[in-house]
Amino acid sequence: MAITHLDTVASAVDGTTQKNIRTEAYVLEKANDPFRLQVIVLDEVRGNELLIEMKYSGICHTDLIVQSGAIPALEFPAILGHEGAGYIRAIGSNVTRTDLTLGDFVLLSFNTCGACKQCKRGHPAYCLNGAKLHMGAVRPEDGSSHARLAKDGRSVRSQFFGQSTFSRMTIVQESTVAMKYPYDPEGAAMFAACGCEFQTEAGTVLNVLKPREDDSVVVFGLGGVGLTAVMAAKFLGVGRIIGVDISGERLRVATELGATEVVDSKGMPDVVKVIWGRTGGGGADFCIDCVGNTAIIESMIECLAKCGTAASVGVMPPGKTVSLDPQKHLFDNKRYIGVLEGDSNPIKFIPELVAMQRSGKFPLKKLCTTYPWQDMEQALTDMHAGKVIKPVLQWC
């Protein structure tokens, strides 16, 4: 694989030559395959697109769910990755963002159509065209992709969530650019991860649930998503924040980040009873599932107090169902909701997260571990083993 960094970007740094760019990417040939580093060729940068030289790529739990084949809408081979930060190397002729210039360092997030009812109402996470936009863009005229494998010319589905950031160079939709960021090595890696995972849980707490100081919040699953929820609740000054997990190390980190209490649920026969006891017998005002497990979801609903709200954030495999007692749900005025991307508008919300972190009140850096881009497999191994919370690849 004799592609150097300079070979990759030489034809694109001035924004004029924008075709047939050879670069490297982690390609998923089919479901349940490993991510394999391969040479790809990017096609032209079209009107509303930008060419981004990636600096950091966050690895999100959603990438692993897609890898497992649990979201069948994606066609293979494909390049995943939907959290990223990098440099603008080319700008399409129809890009409308006048604040974007060649060489800018930008943070990326999910793409949207910007024109449907939900986008216009300020809920772009629920874009009515989101499913089509997020599963890899293709040309409408012939269904071909923006990338192909150098070895055999096969099309590779790219622009996953509008980005496909598991690539040294990637063509993204204009709508994925959340903000310009004055690059610094201390902040860029963690802010790359704001594109999905950190934004999702912070937004769930800050934008949707909005707990008050006298409320109780229970977070089930203390990975990057759940720990961000703990930090967001702490940021709001919530008086009782309970973290639930089976990992002693993650429970320790949750306490460090603001959990007032933790529950080790490993082998615990009745988590609901424990939570009711910890909340004085009244139940929790808010519960959040960050795992995507039906048994956990049913438990968190049972943990709710009167007028309480349970939110699902973790992605479940298709076809799964949960059970609840509708009469009890009615009489206790409980709510069970799903939240995507924290119901956030990235262009507004990611700058807020950056400001919160810089204020010292949202320590995202404690969650991130950076790996050289060659060490994808090690990053995934450490993530599965619980050795790291949020792995981020560094490309250059």
CA distances from 389 to 149, 184, 198, 247, 383 (A): 32, 22, 12, 11, 6
* pLDDT the model gives residue 242: 98
CB 110 within 8 A of CB 162: yes
Tell me the two tokens of residue 45.
């940068």
Phi and psi, residue 100, nearest 5°: -95, 130
Looking at mean pLDDT, say which of 7-11, 69-73, 315-319, 358-362 comes out highest.
Answer: 358-362
* Backbone dihedral region for residue 274 (phi beyond 0: left; psi -120 to 50: alpha; all else: beta): alpha
**Per DSSP, what are the bridge partners of residue 13?**
none
Question: For residue 47, what is the DSSP state?
Answer: T
* pLDDT the model gives residue 5: 41
- Mean pLDDT, range 272-288, rounded to an integer: 95
Question: For residue 70, what is the DSSP state?
Answer: -
More confident residue, 217 or 316: 217
Tell me the two tokens of residue 80.
């995943």
* pLDDT band for position 18 (cuts 50, 70, 90): low
* pLDDT the model gives residue 139: 61
Q: Is 117 exposed, middle or buried (0-12, 13-18, 19+ CB in 10 A)?
A: exposed
Examine the pLDDT at 8 and tell me if it is beyond 50.
Answer: no
**pLDDT tens by residue, 304-332:** 999 999 999 988 878 889 998 999 999 99
Numbered ranges of CATH 3.90.180.10 in the chain: 5-183
**What is the architecture, at CATH level 2, of domain 5-183?**
Alpha-Beta Complex (3.90)
* pLDDT the model gives residue 10: 39
Helix (H) / strand (E) element for 394: namely strand 390-394
Q: Note the Cα 54 to chain centre separation in Å.
A: 16
Domain 201-340 = CATH 3.90.550.10: no
For residue 13, the one-letter residue type is: V
Mode of pairing for the β-strands spanning 368-372 and 390-394: parallel
- Mean pLDDT, range 128-154, rounded to an integer: 79
Q: Is the dihedral of CA 336, 338, 342, 343 positive or negative?
A: negative
d(CA 198, CA 63): 15
* pLDDT the model gives residue 360: 92
* pLDDT the model gives residue 7: 41
CB 272 within 8 A of CB 298: no
d(CA 274, CA 262): 11
CB 367 within 8 A of CB 389: yes
Examine the pLDDT at 389 and tell me if it is beyond 80.
Answer: yes
pLDDT above 90: percentage of residues in the chain: 76
More confident residue, 144 or 186: 186
* pLDDT the model gives residue 138: 64
* pLDDT the model gives residue 73: 67
- Mean pLDDT, range 239-256, rounded to an integer: 96
Helix (H) / strand (E) element for 61: namely helix 61-67
**Average model confidence (pLDDT) across the chain:** 90
* pLDDT band for position 260 (cuts 50, 70, 90): very high
Question: For residue 99, what is the DSSP state?
Answer: T
**pLDDT tens by residue, 32-75:** 999 999 999 998 898 889 999 999 999 998 899 889 888 776 78
Q: What is the DSSP string of 305-360?
A: EEEEEEEE-SPPPTT------HHHHHHTT-EEEE-SGGG--HHHHHHHHHHHHHTT
**Residue 33 CB neighbours (<10 A):** 13
Residues 6+ apart with CB under 8 A from 33: 67
Q: What is the DSSP string of 130-190?
A: HHHHHEEE--TTT---SEEETTT--EEBEEETTT--SBSEEEEEGGGEEEE----TTTHHH
Q: Is 18 exposed, middle or buried (0-12, 13-18, 19+ CB in 10 A)?
A: buried
Q: Is 14 exposed, middle or buried (0-12, 13-18, 19+ CB in 10 A)?
A: exposed
Examine the pLDDT at 95 and tell me if it is beyond 80.
Answer: yes
Q: Is 160 exposed, middle or buried (0-12, 13-18, 19+ CB in 10 A)?
A: buried
* pLDDT the model gives residue 245: 96
Average the pLDDT over each of 180-184, 244-248, 304-308, 317-321 and give the range with the smallest value.
317-321
**Which one, of 236, 235, 207, lies nearest residue 348 by Cα?**
207
**Which one, of 364, 370, 365, lies nearest residue 395 by Cα?**
370
More confident residue, 215 or 7: 215
* pLDDT band for position 267 (cuts 50, 70, 90): confident
- Mean pLDDT, range 270-297, rounded to an integer: 94
* pLDDT the model gives residue 42: 94
**pLDDT tens by residue, 99-140:** 999 999 999 999 999 999 999 999 999 999 988 888 776 665
Numbered ranges of CATH 3.40.50.720 in the chain: 201-340
